[in-house]
Structures are given as C-alpha cells and as structure tokens.
A and B are shown apart, each in its own frame.
Chain A
Amino acid sequence: MTTATIPAPAARSDAAAALAAFGALLARDLTVLRKQPADFITRTIIQPVLFVFVLGYISPRIGQPAAGSATQAATTLLAGMLAVVILFQGLFAVALPLVQDLGYTREIDDRLLAPLPAQAVALEKIALGTIQGLLAALVIFPLAIWIPAAPPSLHIHWAVLLTLAPLAALMCSSLGLFLGTAMDPRLTMALFAVLITPLMWLGCALFPWSALHVIPWVQGLALADPLTYASEGLRAAVTSQPHLSLLVVYPVLAAATALLLWQSTRFFTRRVIS
C-alpha cells in the first residue's frame, strides 16, 4: 500500500527534484576538480608516464625492448596506458574518496539528505569516475605518443574508440564503487595495496594478450582480470595489433559493468542506510 498511495504528479516532481540534485552533485564535484587540479594530475599522470618512460623510452634505448621493436613496445603501451589511467581513476577518484567518506569524514551524509535516492548518490560517483577516466585518457594519449623512443604505429578506429573508452571507464568506475563499499574501510586500504599490482600486470596493459600464448596458464588467468578487456578493446581501437575479439570484449565489459553496478549500489545502500 505504500508506493501505490503516492499520487502521480508528486512522483513526477520527485523525478525532477532528483535529476536537479544529481546535476548539482556532479556540478559540485566538477567544480572541485577544476579548482584543485593537482590531485587529478598527480593521480593521472605520474605512474603511467613513468611506465611509458621506462618501458617505451629507456628499455629500447639500452637494448632491452620489452616486446619486440621500439615501435612495437610503444604501440603496445599506448593502449595499455589508456586502460591503466582509466582504471586508476576508478580506484582513486571513486573508491578511495568513498573509503574516506564512509570511514571518517562522513561528508557523504549531506549528499544523502539531498532529494534523491541513495542509489542515485552512488550513480553520481560512478558518473564522475567515468568523466575523470575519459579526461585522464585524453591527457595521457599525447604523452604516450611523444615520450617513447620511437612513436607508436597509430591506427584509430573511431567507432570502437568512441564506444569502448566510455564503456571501459564506466566499468572501472563501477569496480571502484564496488571496492569502496564491499568491505570495512580499513580492510579496503589493505586490499588496494594487494590488488593494484596484479590487476595491472595481468590486465594486458604492458603486453598484448595474444603474446601470452607461450604461458597458457597466465593467458587464462588474464581473462579473469577485467582490465584485460579494457586494454584489449582499446588496443583494437587505436592500433592494428592483434587483440582479443571485440565480440568477446564488448559483451564481457558490458556484463561486468552491469554486475558491478548492481552489486555496488546495493553495497552502498547497505553502507549508508541501517
């Protein structure tokens, strides 16, 4: 009898109020991003640039190319770094702030009192992480072309790039929300330290998945890492290297996103409403 008693006009204005609140939450987050860009820059740039510098510039110069020629190394790294910065945004723009918020600042409490459902507060975090992931990819793209010893061989497939990059960013943000809400904030910090490295190294960011065929068990394990699908998909989008079939990449990314979204908004609600 509860929801049935809500009259339709009020329900419509509920939706309008929720939409306005969602927009205002996003506006607040983007204002902070614009006014305090240092966080974003350090989070986005430093690690990927070091990877590109070491594996794309130093290694080929000292005669230890990570994978084939300098051009090949740079080409592999290009797609991989796009995937890595997107992943980092999911972790550091969504999960970490959330851990802080739920753990001790409780700044989130004021957001939860805005006229929108708690799930929508979680979705706003994901929207922000997606936007930041795409921004980060834009920032790293020219650097990954310019820094390596030899420029990568670039083949941009726009239709793939423009659909896959947002999907990958959405998936990584959902993963961030999932990690940020799944367990006790103190455990999450420890989990982060343990998880980041394998997530990245198994995620086919530093080598193409096909190259792993010489170690079948690692190749199999890599399929369990969601980052693999982002890296391989972006590889298909910006290079002509061999990659996992897009017929696999799209459905897996979409399914992972849906699953993570569903589960993480449930975890989030359980966290903030007792």
Chain B
Amino acid sequence: MTRATVAVPDPAIPPGAAADVAVLTEGLGKTYPGGTVAVEGLSLAVRRGEVLALLGPNGAGKSTTAGMLTTTVRPTAGRAWVAGIDVASAPARVHRHIGVVPQRNTLDRRLSVRDNLVFHGRYFGMRPAAARTAAGRLLERVSLEDAARRRVDELSGGMAQRLMIARAIMHQPEVLFLDEPTTGLDPQSRLAVHDIVTSLQAAGQTILLITHDMAEADALAGRVAIIDHGRLLALDTPAGLKRWVRGGTVVTVTADGTAPAELAAALAAGVPGARGARPLGDAVMLTVEDGQPVLPAVLAAAETCHARLREVRVDPPTLETVFIELTGKELRDS
C-alpha cells in the first residue's frame, strides 16, 4: 500500500484513495424499488487526467452508474467518491466538481445560446461579467460563436451537443461525464465531438465516457471498463483488452445448410488451434493463433457437416471481440 505517503486532507476521502484518483467506487450497487438490480458490486478508480470509457450494451447499468456518480441516483450499496467527496453524503458539494453532458438535450429553451452558458456559470457562483467572458471563449472553442444569439431550439443536433459540452465545462469541473455523447449524431458532428473530447483530454481534463460504441471507446479512452448486467467484467487499456482475446486472430464463418451449432462443433474439431468456437447469430466465431493458415482447415471442416460457405472473415481482435469473449453475445444487439 502506498497510502502512507499520501496526505489525506479531508476525512471524507477514504483511506487508500490516492491523490491522483478523481473518481473511486467501492462495491457500488443500485437495486431499484421492485428488485431490479441495475449495478452490483462495482469497484473502480478513474485517475486524474485520464479518459475512462464505461462500455456496455443498453441496459448494462452504465447510465445508472453515471447517475450515482452525478448524484441523481441514490446508491443502495457500497460507496463512491468524486473529487474525494462522498456522493451520498454531500451531493451538492459534488456538483461543484463535476460537469455532465446528459444523453438528452437539457438546454434551457427560453435562453439564447450564450445565456445558456452565462447562467450556468452563474449557478456556480461566477459573476455576470466573468461568466460572459468565459462564455464567449467557450463558444469559440466549440465553434458556436456565430450562433451566440440564436435560440437553442434552432440548433442542429451536433450544435446542441457541442453547446452541452461547453456548458458542462463552463465551471471548470474536475471530472467531466459524457453520457453517450455521439449517439444520434451524423458522422461529421460525431467527429467534431471527438475532436473536442481529444482537446479536453490533452488539456488534462478527467473524463468518464459512457458509450456503447466500441470504436468510440477505442478512439478516445485511455482505459475501458466493460460492463454488463451491472457488473464490471474487465478494465484495461484497449490494447490490453484485445490481448485478452486468446489466440489473437478472429475467424468468423457464415454458411448455409447447417445449423450454426453444428458448424461450430465441426470447426472446433477441424481447425488446428481453434478456441472458443461458438454460434453468433447465423455465423460462427472462433479464435486461432496469429499467422496460422486457417482457410484450408475451415473449408475442410465445413465439408464434413455439408455446410455451404457464404463468408469467411479473418480479423484482428476488436473491443467487440473482447466483449463477445467475455459475455458470449454481441454488443450491438444485446
């Protein structure tokens, strides 16, 4: 334990929490009235200055986790600290240290684009003049300076999202929560949001990114926490997670004429070094060692069960493969 060397300025900071930890959870859990368990036994630490992605399918418990850390959901088990403050005992104080970009558009429709930022700043104690200056700077940063006087409901989805990010960082929070920040955006707006996130990260902003988009987690996050059914399944860098995939090469076989389960059994038996062959929808996925010549063996195995091959793909592992390895299902469809 390194904690002996770390000064603990506030007794609300748990023992063991190092000064470079921005978010810490210990056995955090949420069971909704009625018995639905959304999150269970979640323990993780977000380091200061890192971008950590919570990756999982819809309903995995990502948003409930974010809700608990941003104080809109009351934990029913465990504890959590943001910026060293217990989220359950001092929620209003936690607010001063977090910025949140929620999934829905929660902009103030009665205010102009600029005033959305100005009043948000004032909620956090900024003087009107200082808030106006900061708002001007931020609007430039998210390329909305020309829209400053416009009404919020005239903005496109991408512009609204950029404005919500600007609003969330207006009071210079220690931790920024981005909940599905690019869901529903066109590719160009998506890239614009990614650029903003990358520049924030370069400036040292701690970010908790909630997403079901593997490519987004891969591109933006330093570490990825994979969550399903409210539990943490794995936590590592994207590269580290991909090394989890045994073998290192992913083979996906699609065929007609045979049940996928039968084809999976034939491939498991017939392809040398095949691991974890399993049906996945109407296809079969397996992994093999890098550099193995797999095609002849796949063809021969398909022959044995009278399968008519439609497609054989050989890919390096992605976060999706990791997810399938961990849960046995696809991220997209679950």
Chain A interface (Cβ < 8 Å from any Cβ of B) = 2-3, 5-7, 10, 14, 16-18, 20-21, 24-25, 27-28, 31-32, 36, 105-118, 272-274
Residue on A nearest B112 in the bound complex, by CB: A35
- Report if A5-B12 is in contact (Cβ < 8 Å); known contacts: A24-B119, A110-B108: yes
Q: Which of A28, A36, A115 contacts B92 (CB 8 A)?
A: A115
Question: With A109-B106, A113-B98 known to touch, is A14 a contact of B72 (CB < 8 Å)?
Answer: no
A32 B124 Cβ-Cβ under 8 A? no
In the complex, per-residue mask of B291-312: 1 if CB is within 8 Å of any chain A CB, else 0: 0000000000000000000000
A25 proximity list for chain B (CB < 8 A): 123
Tell me, yes or no, whether B137 is within 8 Å of chain A by CB. no
Q: Is the Cβ of B104 less than 8 Å from the Cβ of A21?
A: no
| Residue among B10, B74, B123 making CB contact with A21, cutoff 8 Å | B123
By the criterion CB–CB under 8 Å, are B120 and A110 in contact? yes
- Does B95 lie within 8 Å of A114, measured CB to CB? yes
The answer to whether A273 and B74 have CB atoms under 8 Å apart is: yes
Instruction: Report the minimum CB–CB distance from B321 to chain A (whole Å).
Output: 34
A-B contact pairs, 22 of them (CB 8 A): A5-B12, A6-B12, A6-B90, A7-B11, A17-B125, A18-B92, A27-B119, A31-B111, A31-B119, A106-B104, A109-B104, A113-B70, A113-B100, A114-B95, A115-B95, A115-B96, A116-B95, A118-B91, A272-B72, A273-B71, A273-B72, A274-B72
In the bound complex, residues from chain B placing their C-beta under 8 Å from that of A18 are: 92
CB-nearest residue of chain A to B30:
A274
Give, as a whole number of angstroms, the nearest-CB distance from B67 to chain A: 7
Q: Which residues of chain A are near B106, meaning CB under 8 Å?
A: 105-110
Which A residues are CB-close (under 8 A) to B122?
A: 20, 24, 27-28
Contact of B124 with A114 in the complex, beta carbons under 8 Å: yes
- Cβ B71 vs Cβ A32 within 8 A: no
B93 touches A273 (CB 8 A): no
Residues of chain B contacted by A112 (CB below 8 angstroms): 72
Evaluate contact between B32 and A274: CB separation under 8 angstroms: yes
B89 and A24 within 8 A (CB): no
Given A10-B10, A14-B90, A273-B71, check contact A111 B109 (CB 8 Å): no
State whether the Cβ of B73 lies closer than 8 Å to any Cβ in chain A.
yes
Nearest-CB residue, chain A, relative to B12:
A5
Q: Do A109 and B125 contact each other (CB < 8 Å), given the known contacts A28-B111, A274-B32?
A: no
CB nearest neighbor in B for A13: B93
Q: Is B160 an interface residue (CB 8 A)?
A: no
Q: Give the total number of A-B pairs whose CB atoms are below 8 A apart.
A: 99
Assess A117 versus B92: contact at CB under 8 Å? Given A112-B72, A273-B71, A273-B74.
Answer: yes
Please give me the residue from chain A that is nearest to B110 by CB atom. Answer: A32
Of all chain B residues, the one with the shortest Cβ separation from A112 is B72
Contacts of A5 in B (CB 8 A): 10-12, 86, 89
Interface 1/0 per residue, B91-134 and A, CB below 8 Å: 11101101010101011111100010001101111000000000
A3 to B93, CA, bound (A): 12
Are the C-beta atoms of A273 and B123 separated by less than 8 Å? no
A7-B10, A106-B104 given; A114·B123 CB < 8 A: yes
Complex: A106 Cα to B104 Cα, angstroms: 8
**Chain B contacts for A10, CB-based, 8 A:** 10, 93
Nearest-Cβ distance from residue B258 to partner chain A, whole angstroms = 48
| Chain A residues, Cβ within 8 Å of B67 | 274
Measured CB to CB, the closest approach of chain A to B113, in angstroms, equals 14
Interface centre among A5, A16, A114 (most CB of B within 10 A): A114
Min C-beta distance of A77 to chain B, whole Å:
33
Given the interface pairs A2-B89, A14-B93, the reply to whether A36 lies near B110 with Cβ below 8 Å is yes
C-alpha gap A21/B124 in the complex (Å): 6
Separation in Å of the B86 CB from the closest CB of chain A? 6
Q: Which single member of B90, B95, B98, B108 contacts A107 (CB below 8 Å)?
A: B108
**Shortest Cβ gap from A12 to chain B (Å):** 12
Query: Which among B32, B86, B92, B123 has the greatest number of chain A C-beta atoms within 10 A?
Result: B123
Central interface residue in A14, A25, A115, by most chain B CB within 10 Å: A115
- Cα distance A36–B70 when bound, in Å? 33
A108 to B167, CA, bound (A): 14
Question: A5–B14 Cα gap in the complex (Å)?
Answer: 11
Whether B88 is near chain A, meaning CB under 8 Å from some CB there, is yes
